[in-house]
């Protein structure tokens, strides 16, 4: 994922003054969030104890990085920015010194109570490179170095503390006299001797000419002096002037705002010490009292006249962060009785100001301060991300199920060519003469998951298609089921209607009955063995379960494998119980609601789908893939399904043939397709199963025959799949044969909407004005570059490096101190998936990266995510073996050799954890993911100072949610931001969380969307963050549209409506990867309907409102 800033500001590296870029993700609309409502609108902050952090180093290359929402510097301990090298640690030097690793936890505001410990977790540039700004092609706008943020926004509290940070418990014990002394030492404060002349607290006012500022509202708008609007900070003896120690003081350092400390302190009106007044509400050294209820917030800035009062209260974080509780007020005892009256007057004045400003804010509506994304432009990416010179198109399609009713024929299967797999339906309404692709829609309120059709049945105006895989931990949404009234227009069944199917249930066959549909299959019993199970439905949507104890005990019958129905009279084949080798024949007279075991003992019958068929006189059973020594296949008949006898034979077949591959029946009779020789097939037909005639020769089929159907007119339709011209290409095969006619191959290339080109852009990153996208095309790995902000792209064209036998793909890319690194996987050996690494110094010329060996007995070892920072590069992926799946992490300081983290270096050995993203942080690296099932997932946060040894942080769980998984992480200059999906009463919701103490505590936010939303990538800019993905649009019938979000601080987000061609409208659209260079935003996504599939590019800019 392209998470994290993608480009360092070269002017910082070159020693020039930094210019700040002009101001600027997946599924929820603006509106009240369940996490912003009581009781979570006023969470309880916590202050954890902290040891002193190290002092700033003397590195001459250190440059101050701007905090999101605060162009100025933070406290003196962080004048080099959170990305500046720390004392005793240089980029790429490996593990931190022991003293640094053993320091106590950072002090920080934790918006919620206890769930966020620092113990082991139970449970898209920092991602690509250090946070940066603009490329030389995107010069920044000067003049905002001294700005304190847009109107109406206070500095965001941060907890990247240095010296001088003190806990609330320590400061609460200081006397009033000591406090006054410390304040005088730390910062001069202006006072007045008359109570009617009130002055705002803050640092000494500087002349306007000395304070660089920018007008947030554009030319002509009045400038608001915000120099006194920030929180105050007391001077600590541990602090020092950088000039006193010979430290480098930057000539372009902006005036220090009122708040330079990690914790936001009070802003408001402070009176002369001669007048005893109530302290400000945000003073952390106070005793608890009733909190003040605040409506709205005051406009940004302070009034120019001292007699104009503004509300006194806790400052809101940058962007108006939610979930911040109003701090209690400390009461000071009166010093002299004669001072009581002036104090009362002051309190009344302050209360009046609070009420007046609150009313003005309520009437004035929300503030427009912050970042915004321009509407930008969308364009097709089909030509940009091409795969020239490769044979075929890399498609992967297969037909697995066939059914006919009257003249309607349906051939169904799956298409996994693009990242969004689709069920594949080919339909003919004229007995196989002409074909077209079907249409698939979602049930109202439900967006179907990718699925493959394994069985299909229909007739009399009702059709049913089902997937045959057990969803397991993927949940009910992974079980594909579709219904249709005509065989052409299909609707996905909402998983909420499929509660009769359990997670370990597997459907093996389906049949159309007189009263609806019947599905049979297997379920996993308590002892781990398979048991029989069936389901009945009147319409294919609502189902009733017929469990194992209603069918047969496990010692008598196991999984049900095949079924056929003649009205409501049903016959099924099942595996025998333990110690038995004779297939079990079951029957039902009520459509599958009750079952009886027959006395039939058919020793040479293997229970498989396609072995049963129905004739006008009863049932026919033909063993599949079996024949006698003479090449004949026995046929069994039964009028009612209870008593079975051998009634005929098929053959003799050739010595190289494997036997009958399947049966189909209609009003025209029964048809059997048999392999008469190697990959040569013949058709045998019969009216009643007793006398069989070889009616057609299908000839050679260079592939796999997977099923057949026969129309009422006697036209046979058979199909499967074959290998295409590309080394990974798999193409469907469809053959028709009429009575007495030669077989005819259907020209599938002529079917509109069937063919697709295999292309995928998995990640994109930017550095030095160059954008690099990675992915796959036609089965080979691919790299594309752009030097003009994503308008044009060029294929890297290294076939020997990126191609080869089997499938290759790149999934992550990042730029770091030693250049570019792209990582993915290759399957040159079909039995093993190996890491694929390529590197580049300039993004144009690529070479093989360090080799990573796969241990014996491991069949998949693949990195999926890449992060780069000052210390080096980290890869994150997974390792699969016969013993299970574990996360895999590697580190390299120089791209010469990667060292893998040992299982003992990961929390709990990594058991049960899936990692989804990794990023570089000022202290090292952070990886995020989840553990547990999809509906009960637990977020995982791991941190490392050296890229090899990892420690778990506490659980990340937003309030009013039952579970949450993390998918993306980036490090900004304000802290680390993660984005994931949480389960709420209203369903899954995307959320974000900001940590300023390396994951020890979190502040939560939501990403607005109209309905269900997904964040697919996240990146940091010089001004904030951009997230992209998709959201459901109720106006478009619930289909997914592309979405983008922007945030100054990672907590408060706004969504950009995308309506350009390819970004919204009919079908499913989404943006899957995003990168930023300066203020230029480039995102790559897809627009996919059932019959079309296109890559899209969205280009925008991030600016201030």
CA distance 1044 to 595: 55
pLDDT at 888: 98
Given a cut of 50, the residues of the chain with pLDDT beneath it are 1-342, 344, 348, 350-369
CA distance 507 to 520: 6
Phi, psi of 1025, deg, nearest 5: -135, 150
SS3 string, 686-744, reads ECCCCCCEEEEEEEECCEEEEEEEECCCCCEEEEEEEECCCCCCEEEEEEEECCCCCCE
The structure tokens listed for 262 are 């990690």
Q: What is the DSSP letter of 837?
A: E
| CATH numeric code, 759-1104 | 2.130.10.120
For 1, other C-beta atoms within 10 Å of its C-beta total: 32
Place of tokens 């300066």: 1078
pLDDT at 555: 87
pLDDT at 93: 42
How far apart, in Å, are the Cα atoms of 792 and each of 459, 762, 767, 774?
51, 18, 16, 15
CA distance 940 to 907: 10
403 in Cβ contact with 462 (< 8 Å): no
The pLDDT tens digits of the residues spanning 658-703 come to 889 999 999 999 999 998 888 789 999 999 999 999 988 888 777 7
pLDDT at 62: 35
pLDDT at 1071: 95
CA distance 347 to 582: 92
The structure tokens listed for 506 are 């597997």
* DSSP H/E element including 354: helix 340-364
CA distance 748 to 945: 56
CA distance 127 to 866: 7
CA distance 1045 to 1019: 11
Burial 251-286, CB ≥16 within 10 A → b, else e: eeebbbbbbbbbbbbbbbbbbbeebbbbbbbbbbbb
Cis omega before residue 39 (within 30°)? yes
107 in Cβ contact with 159 (< 8 Å): yes
Place of tokens 């990403």: 1007
554 in Cβ contact with 548 (< 8 Å): yes
Is the torsion defined by CA of 954, 958, 964, 967 positive or negative? negative
Listed residue (1076, 825, 922) closest to 135, CA to CA: 1076
Listed residue (407, 429, 277, 266) closest to 340, CA to CA: 277
Sequence ranges of the domains in the chain: 50-103+151-369, 759-1104
Cα separation of the two ends of the chain: 28
The structure tokens listed for 982 are 């949480």
The distance between the two most distant Cα atoms of the chain, rounded to a whole number of Å, is: 120
pLDDT at 619: 97
What pTM value is reported for the model?
Answer: 0.64
Q: What is the DSSP letter of 393?
A: -
CA distance 1073 to 1081: 11
pLDDT at 1070: 93
The structure tokens listed for 861 are 């070892």
CA distance 571 to 563: 6
pLDDT at 133: 40
pLDDT at 113: 33
Phi, psi of 879, deg, nearest 5: -130, 120
pLDDT at 1037: 52
Alpha helices in 365-495 (DSSP H): none
583 in Cβ contact with 627 (< 8 Å): no
Count each helix (H run) and each strand (E run) in the chain, helices first.
6, 62
pLDDT at 1009: 84
CA distance 140 to 506: 59
Burial 291-330, CB ≥16 within 10 A → b, else e: ebebebbbbbbbeeeeeebbbbbbbbbbbbbbbbbbbbbb
pLDDT at 444: 65
Q: Is 540 helix (H, G, I), strand (E, B) or coil?
A: coil
972 in Cβ contact with 955 (< 8 Å): no
For 97, other C-beta atoms within 10 Å of its C-beta total: 14
The structure tokens listed for 1034 are 């109720």
CA distance 970 to 753: 39
pLDDT at 238: 40
- Quote the distance between the C-alpha of residue 1060 and its chain's center: 23
Cis omega before residue 652 (within 30°)? yes
Q: Is 904 exposed, middle or buried (0-12, 13-18, 19+ CB in 10 A)?
A: exposed
Tell me the Ramachandran region of residue 174: left when phi exceeds 0, alpha when psi lies from -120 to 50, beta otherwise.
Answer: beta
Is the torsion defined by CA of 494, 498, 504, 508 positive or negative? negative
For 196, other C-beta atoms within 10 Å of its C-beta total: 10
């Amino acid at each position: 994922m392209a998470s994290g800033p993608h480009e360092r500001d070269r002017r910082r590296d070159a020693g020039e003054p930094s210019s700040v870029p002009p101001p600027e993700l997946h599924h929820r609309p603006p509106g009240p969030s369940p996490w912003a409502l009581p009781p979570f609108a006023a969470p309880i902050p916590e202050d954890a104890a902290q040891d002193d952090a190290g002092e700033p180093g003397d590195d001459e290359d250190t440059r101050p990085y701007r905090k999101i929402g605060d162009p100025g510097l933070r406290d003196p301990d962080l004048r080099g920015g959170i990305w500046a090298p720390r004392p005793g640690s240089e980029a790429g030097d490996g593990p931190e010194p022991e003293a640094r690793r053993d320091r106590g936890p950072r002090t920080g505001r934790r918006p919620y109570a206890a769930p966020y410990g620092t113990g082991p977790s139970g449970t898209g540039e920092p991602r690509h490179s250090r946070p940066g700004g603009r490329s030389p092609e995107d010069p920044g706008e000067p003049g905002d170095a001294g700005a304190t943020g847009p109107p109406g926004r206070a500095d965001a509290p941060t907890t990247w503390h240095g010296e001088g940070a003190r806990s609330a418990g320590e400061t609460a014990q200081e006397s009033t006299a000591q406090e006054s002394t410390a304040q005088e030492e730390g910062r001069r404060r202006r006072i007045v001797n008359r109570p009617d002349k009130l002055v705002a607290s803050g640092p000494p006012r500087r002349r306007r000419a000395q304070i660089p500022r920018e007008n947030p509202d554009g030319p002509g708008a009045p400038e608001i002096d915000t120099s006194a609007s920030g929180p105050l900070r007391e001077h600590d003896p541990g602090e020092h002037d950088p000039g006193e120690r010979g430290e480098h003081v930057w000539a372009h350092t902006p005036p220090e705002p009122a708040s330079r400390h990690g914790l936001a302190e009070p802003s408001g009106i402070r009176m002369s010490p001669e007048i005893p007044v109530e302290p400000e509400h945000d003073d952390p050294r106070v005793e608890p009292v009733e909190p003040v209820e605040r409506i709205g917030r005051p406009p940004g800035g302070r009034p120019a006249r001292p007699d104009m009062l503004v509300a006194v209260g806790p400052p809101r974080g940058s962007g108006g962060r939610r979930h911040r509780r109003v701090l209690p007020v400390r009461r000071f005892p009166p010093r002299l009785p004669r001072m009581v009256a002036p104090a009362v007057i002051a309190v009344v004045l302050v209360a009046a100001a609070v009420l007046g400003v609150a009313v003005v804010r309520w009437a004035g509506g929300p503030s427009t301060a912050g970042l915004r994304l321009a509407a930008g432009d969308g364009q097709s990416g089909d030509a940009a991300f091409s795969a020239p010179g490769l044979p075929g198109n890399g498609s992967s399609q297969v037909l697995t199920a066939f059914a006919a009713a009257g003249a309607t024929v349906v051939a169904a299967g799956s298409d996994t060519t693009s990242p969004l797999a689709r069920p594949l339906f080919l339909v003919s309404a004229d007995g196989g003469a002409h074909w077209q692709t079907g249409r698939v829609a979602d049930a109202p309120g439900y967006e179907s998951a990718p699925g493959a059709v394994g069985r299909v049945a229909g007739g009399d105006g009702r059709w049913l298609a089902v997937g045959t895989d057990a969803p397991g931990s993927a949940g009910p949404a992974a079980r594909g089921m579709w219904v249709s009234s005509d065989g052409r227009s299909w609707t996905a069944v909402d998983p909420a209607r499929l509660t009769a199917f359990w997670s370990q249930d597997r459907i093996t066959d389906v049949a159309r009955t007189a009263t609806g549909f019947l599905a049979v299959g297997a379920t996993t019993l308590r002892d781990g063995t398979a048991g029989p199970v069936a389901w009945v439905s009147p319409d294919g949507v609502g189902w009733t379960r017929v469990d194992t104890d209603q069918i047969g005990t496990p010692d008598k019958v196991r999984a049900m494998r095949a079924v056929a129905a003649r009205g409501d009279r049903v016959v099924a084949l099942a595996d025998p119980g333990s110690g038995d080798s004779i297939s079990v024949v079951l029957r039902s007279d009520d459509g599958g609601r009750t079952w009886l075991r027959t006395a039939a003992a058919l020793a040479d019958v293997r229970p498989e789908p396609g072995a049963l068929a129905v004739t006008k006189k009863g049932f026919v059973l033909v063993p599949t893939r079996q024949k006698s020594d003479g090449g004949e296949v026995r046929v069994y008949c039964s009028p009612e399904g209870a008593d079975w006898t051998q009634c005929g034979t098929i053959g003799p077949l050739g010595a190289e043939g494997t036997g009958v591959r399947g049966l189909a029946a209609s009003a025209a009779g029964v048809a059997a397709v048999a392999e008469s020789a190697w990959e040569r097939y013949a058709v045998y037909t019969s009216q009643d199963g007793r006398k069989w005639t070889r009616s057609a020769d299908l000839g050679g089929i260079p592939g796999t025959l997977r099923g057949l159907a026969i129309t009422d007119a006697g036209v046979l339709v058979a199909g499967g799949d074959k290998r295409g011209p590309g080394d990974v290409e798999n193409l469907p095969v469809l053959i028709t044969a009429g009575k007495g006619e030669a077989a005819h191959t259907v020209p599938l290339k002529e079917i509109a909407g069937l063919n697709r080109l295999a292309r995928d852009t998995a990640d994109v990153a930017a550095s030095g004005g160059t954008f690099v996208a990675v992915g796959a095309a036609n089965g080979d790995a691919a790299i594309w570059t752009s030097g003009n902000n994503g308008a044009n792209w060029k294929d890297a064209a290294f076939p020997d490096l990126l191609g080869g036998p089997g499938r290759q793909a790149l999934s992550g890319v990042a730029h770091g101190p030693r250049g570019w690194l792209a990582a993915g996987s290759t399957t040159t050996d079909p039995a093993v998936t190996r890491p694929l690494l390529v590197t580049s110094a300039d993004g144009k010329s690529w070479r093989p990266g360090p080799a990573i060996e796969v241990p014996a007995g491991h069949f998949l070892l693949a990195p999926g995510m890449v992060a780069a920072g000052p210390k080096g590069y980290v890869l994150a992926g997974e390792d699969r073996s016969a013993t299970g799946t574990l996360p895999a992490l590697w580190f390299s300081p120089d791209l010469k050799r990667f060292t893998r983290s040992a299982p003992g270096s990961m929390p709990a050995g990594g058991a049960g954890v899936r990692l989804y993203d990794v990023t570089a942080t000022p202290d090292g690296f952070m990886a995020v993911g989840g553990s547990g099932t999809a509906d009960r997932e637990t977020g995982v946060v791991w941190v490392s100072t050296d890229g090899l040894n990892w420690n778990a942080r506490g659980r990340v769980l937003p309030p009013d949610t039952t579970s949450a998984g993390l998918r993306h992480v980036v490090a900004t200059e304000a802290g680390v931001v993660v984005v994931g999906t949480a389960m709420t009463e209203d369903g899954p919701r995307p959320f974000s969380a900001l940590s300023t103490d390396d994951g020890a505590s979190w502040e939560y936010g939501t990403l607005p969307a109209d309905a269900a939303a997904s964040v697919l990538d996240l990146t940091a800019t010089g001004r904030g963050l951009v997230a992209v993905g998709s959201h459901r649009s109720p106006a478009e019938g619930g289909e997914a549209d592309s979405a983008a979000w922007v945030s100054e601080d990672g907590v408060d987000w706004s969504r950009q409506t995308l309506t350009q061609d390819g970004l919204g409208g009919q079908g499913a659209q989404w943006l899957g990867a995003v990168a930023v260079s300066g203020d230029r935003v480039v995102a790559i996504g897809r627009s996919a309907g059932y019959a079309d599939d296109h890559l899209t590019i969205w280009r925008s800019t991030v600016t201030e409102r």
